[in-house]
Amino acid sequence: MDQIIIDVREEDEFAAEHVEHSINIPLSSFASLAPGILNQLRERQIVFMCRSGARAGQAQAIARQLGFNDAHSFDVHEGGIVQWKKAGKSIVSRRLKAPLPLMRQVQLVVGTLIITFSMLALLVDSRYALGALAVGGGLLIAGTTGFCALATLMAKLPWNRGDSLAKHTLCQMSKGD
């Protein structure tokens, strides 16, 4: 049985480095995308990969809930792509410039906004607390729906744009690599 590696890291992490011929289905959208993609891969052995193995295990659990019991993860004990590289296995690296991963950028912006609004509320005018509440509300919505407006906006910034990963993913699937 042919093996395929599904990398469940976010698109920016995948763009920086990944196992050659692997496909990217970020864990953040895995539950909605996985059924259609996994159905196309029924005849292949599926191995989930992430950075250290934790997200791969979550993807494997979701796949099993969807009836894909033969899916395996390159898990925490194996160490994900970190251990893959330590074992001397090859990866594709496309890091031309090294921005922080998108989710870390979002965390930095959100943290800065909350601290700024909180300090302004304490030192200038209590109405600035509404800004901190708005940012917190955005996080709550992102956590419950899986859609983060700030991450979507930040992904469009020049330093976060790269090759079309969706095109790469679909091309790899259609080639059967």
- pLDDT tens profile 127-170: 999 999 999 999 999 888 888 889 889 888 887 776 433 333 33
| pLDDT confidence band for 172 (50 / 70 / 90) | very low
CATH number, residue 51? 3.40.250.10
Catalytic residue among 15, 49, 50, 135: 50
Q: Rounded to whole angstroms, what are the CA distances from 157 to 152, 160, 161?
A: 9, 5, 7
pLDDT at residue 97, as a whole number: 55
Same-domain check for residues 55 and 77:
yes
97 SS3 class: coil
Same-domain check for residues 171 and 154:
no
Is residue 171 part of the annotated active site? The answer reads no
149 SS3 class: helix
Range name among 16-25, 109-118, 126-135 with the lowest pLDDT average: 16-25
Range name among 61-65, 71-75, 86-90 with the lowest pLDDT average: 71-75
pLDDT at residue 47, as a whole number: 85
Same-domain check for residues 89 and 73:
yes
Domain that holds residue 72: 3-97+164-175
Helices and strands: H and E segment counts in the chain: 8, 6
Residues 64-91: what's their mean pLDDT? Answer: 75
Number of domains within the chain: 2
Same-domain check for residues 82 and 110:
no
Same-domain check for residues 93 and 116:
no
- Nearest-Å Rg of the Cα atoms of the chain is 19
Same-domain check for residues 168 and 114:
no
CA–CA separation, 83 and 64 (whole Å): 24
